Every structure is written in C-alpha cells, then in structure tokens.
Amino acid sequence: MKWFLQRVLAAVAAVAVVAAGGAVVLRMQYSGEPEEWAVSDGTNALWMGHAWVDGRKGADELAELAPRITRGGIRDVYVHVGPLDYDGRLDPAKHPELDSFLDLMAERLPDVRVSAWVGQRVEEGQLDLLDDATRARVVEAADAMVAAGFDGVHYNFEPVPNNDPGFVSLLEETRAALPEDVLLSSSVPKIEPLGGLAFTLGLFLSKDPFWSSGYLERVAEHLDQVAVMAYDTGMPTEGLYGGMVARQTRLAVDAVPEDVHLLMGVPAYPDDHSTRNPEAETTQTSVRAIRVGLSDAAQRRERFGTALYVDFTATDDQWRAYLEGWARPQEAEAG
C-alpha cells in the first residue's frame, strides 16, 4: 500500500511539472536535430540483474549478451548483489555464484569494469542512512565486495530525500574506506526541472520526487560516476517525455562536476504504472532526447555516457534502438 501511495504521489508531481512549467514549454525542449558529435564515446554502462550471481545465468547467457555490451560501448556494468538487509548488512548467501561470475567476466569481457550494485529501500522502519551503525555496515558490505574482486561499488538507495545528510555521510565514509583506485558510483533521482520545485513539492508530498541541482552537485563531488534515473517520469506522451529527458540532460551536465563521469539512464523494461507510460517512455525517445539535450552545449562534454536499465528485460527491439540511436547512430543513418 505504501509503495502504491508513493507511485500516486510521484504521478501528482509529474502533473505539477507539466502545470508549472507548461506542457508546450516542456515539449519544446525536445525539438531540433541533435549534433553529430552528440553520440556515444564508448563510456556507457549497463545495469545487470541478480541472476548472474545466484546461478541462474552463466557462460551461455553471457556469450549472448557480450556482443551487445561490446557493440554498445559499455565500459561499466552494475551487477545486483543484494539487496542489503534493513540493518545495512549484505548476506553472502544472496550471491553464491559471485566468484564464478567475476571469473567469467574477466575471461569474456576483460576490458569491462564490474561494480557491485548495492542498495535497498530507504523508508521509515527499514534501512536508515542517518544511523551511524547502519552506514558502517553498508560500508563493510561495500568493502567486502571490493575484496571479492569487484572493480567498484554502485549504490542504489531509493528514495533518498533531497538534501539528505545521511547519504552524503555514507559516500564520505565509503570513499574513505575503499582504495583510491576503486570506482564509486551511484544512481540518483531526477533533477527538479524548474528551480525551487523540489522545495515546493516537498512542502506537500511526503517523499521528494526530485533533487535540486545543488544537492546533486554536492553528492556528485564524492563520486566517480553518477547515473541519473531519467525514467518513471509520469509524462503521458512521447513528446513530453522527450522534453523531460532533454531538460534532465541539460541540468545534469551543468550540475555534475566535469571530473565526474555523468551517465543518463535509459529505460529498457516493460513496466506500465502511474509514473510510466511505456508507449511514451521508449528507449528510442530516451536516447534521442539525451542527444538533443547534450547538443545544447558548445561541444561534447567529456566523461558522458548513458546507462541502460536493465539487461534482463531489454528486448531485441530496445537493444536495436539503443545501438542505432546512441552507440552507433552514424552507421545506422549510413546503412
């Protein structure tokens, strides 16, 4: 019931965006042709599901996926190893085939960095990032994943409120505990499309639907990579969704420090609920909107890519849209 109410509130927030910003203005964000340089530079990412570390998937499945990873310019993969328990612990029983998977990746895709996707719901009575002991156990879990052979740790805690001090403390403590060469990344929610909207909606909604640009910048300063979850926007049409993603891209480029690798999340899943119309939020629209938003700058930002969500639901058509629309659009146009 609580999850349903949060979805409803998020949908209300989406309506507020359209009402406050104006549907016409938002739609205009998704207009014009993207620049030829606004394409992949081969530094993309992919979220990968839990089946890789619990034994349900192995060499045969990776042999099928590997060519897409290579052709998609995917340099980083985030593999789900949890979820964490509500006290911050990570039970090793949740990933019994972790070592076999890491060996398989090293053999089949040696140039791809593999990060442990670690996270949990952040709600009252569940995992509490304001609690010192809970954060310490999360850091222990991250350290254990690095000791097991992962190249990095990818955090995914939802929902983290705007201006939450506990999450910043967790990042500081994690960075201090891990070796300097270990990649630290995190998924982050959407950015307020209009200045002050996060604060205003926070006065009426129990869960913040957006982060402010300032808080995103503060979080990003402690990370090597930031992946903006630019989906589940609640936008009812393709044009409005494209406008939202283009706007998110422009805001993220401005907010995330240039020495931090910025990734824009791309949907490749079938969910249909109050905050997602799958006919509007398509892979094809997402990557084109990212290119449009990126084209707003005078030149291509370095350390910029996309992150595809998620391997176990992405269809052949969605992979094709991703490869042709973002990874290799010139080849698609020439062909």
Q: Answer for the pair 94, 54: CB distance below 8 angstroms, yes or no.
A: yes
Phi, psi of 280 (to 5 degrees): -95, -45
* Cα–Cα dist 13/18, whole Å: 9
Structural domains in the chain, CATH included, are 2-334 (3.20.20.80)
Contacts of 93 (CB under 8 A, 6+ apart): none
pLDDT in tens, the chain (335 residues): 444 445 544 555 554 555 545 565 677 789 999 999 999 999 999 999 999 999 999 999 999 999 999 999 999 999 999 999 999 999 999 999 999 999 999 999 999 999 999 999 987 778 999 999 999 999 999 999 999 999 999 999 999 999 999 999 999 999 999 999 999 999 999 999 876 555 555 555 556 678 999 999 999 999 999 999 999 998 999 999 999 999 999 999 999 999 999 999 999 999 998 889 999 999 999 999 999 999 998 889 999 999 999 999 999 999 999 999 999 875 644 44
Number of Cβ within 10 Å of residue 101's Cβ equals 24
- Encoded tokens for 29: 């964000």
* Cα–Cα dist 285/270, whole Å: 15
Instruction: Tell me the pTM.
Output: 0.91
Closest CA to 69 of 39, 38, 34, 40: 40
* Cα–Cα dist 295/37, whole Å: 8
- DSSP string covering 88-115, please? S---GGG-TTHHHHHHHHHHH-TTSEEE
Reduce the DSSP state of residue 74 to 3 states and report it: strand
- Encoded tokens for 12: 């209300």
